[in-house]
Amino acid sequence: MGVLNVTPDSFSDAGRYFDREAAIARGLELVADGADVVDVGGESTRPGAEPVAEAEELRRVLPVVEALAGRVRVSIDTTKPAVAEAAVARGAWLVNDIGCGLAELAAAAGAALVVMHMRGTPKDMQRHAIYDDVVAEVRGFLAERAERAREAGIEEIYVDPGIGFAKTAEHNLALLAALPELVAGRFPVLVGTSRKRFLGTLGRPPGAAPLPVDQRGEASLATAVWAMAAGVRVVRVHDVRPAAQAARLLGDGCGAAELEVAS
């Protein structure tokens, strides 16, 4: 899943694809790089982000969804029912329900769904990063919400631990370590670590500033590969080409035996 942020303020590619034509061109580039799905978002979810009015979000995403929908499976990343509904009406295949409020709508529209774990809203979520057992709490939440979505009639449901959403770096690492456990559940798993802040803090001296976004590529790929090797079905990434190559390698059964034969 390639990330396409049609926003002026996303944490990594802020403003680069805010222009409609630039966004559509980027979507097609993601497809050429090997994306099976393009996730279109018109509102940043970075910690502290300001909310966007519905009319503005619709203006940002709908033409892009429409332009891409005939060429690739499109996902709509939103918390707003009107945005999800209009995007599906224009051909979006999946509702990326990061606020966990759109299952009924996705069911009625016949769309696939991502159920993601978050607490609060992007503006205040980091205040809610308090857990006794983050893995058990996230797993329980996802199982319950996904089951409800299934009962509402949705056939294709993905669960996502919501890396970076109301989570500290330690919480993110605990959830990544627990991916094999999450994958063993009933629903396929989606994970997004790409360029996130915690990747820039790993191995840094205490108190040091995190690595800037453009220096988080290697850690992004490493965590995507770990996720895929753990059995995660979808990885949400900004840099599609290396992740798609890794997916092919793993999907082609890069068991040690086969690699040995090839070499």
Binding site for ligand HH2 (CB under 6 A): 3, 5, 7, 10-12, 41, 44-46, 77, 96, 98, 114, 116, 160, 162-163, 190, 192, 236
Min CB(108)–ligand HH2 separation in Å: 21
- Looking at beta carbons only, is 96 or 223 nearer to ligand HH2? 96
- Looking at beta carbons only, is 86 or 227 nearer to ligand HH2? 227
Q: Where are the alpha helices (DSSP H) in 186-253?
A: 217-229, 240-251
Structure tokens at 231: 């059995």
To which residue do tokens 């040091």 refer?
208
Min CB(135)–ligand HH2 separation in Å: 16
CB 41 within 8 A of CB 2: no
Residues with Cβ within 8 Å of 150's Cβ and at least 6 positions away in sequence, in order, are 157
Q: Which of 73, 195, 196, 216 does the annotation list as catalytic?
A: 196
User: Known catalytic residue: 196?
Assistant: yes
CB 180 within 8 A of CB 229: no
Query: Exposure pattern of 8-47 as b/e (b: 16+ CB <10 Å)?
Result: eebbbbeeebbebeebbebbbbbbebebebbbbbbbbbbb
Min CB(10)–ligand HH2 separation in Å: 3
What is the spatial distance between Cα 145 and Cα 138, in angstroms, rounded to a whole number? 11
- Looking at beta carbons only, is 7 or 201 nearer to ligand HH2? 7
- Looking at beta carbons only, is 109 or 254 nearer to ligand HH2? 109
Min CB(163)–ligand HH2 separation in Å: 5
Residue nearest to ligand HH2 (CB): 192
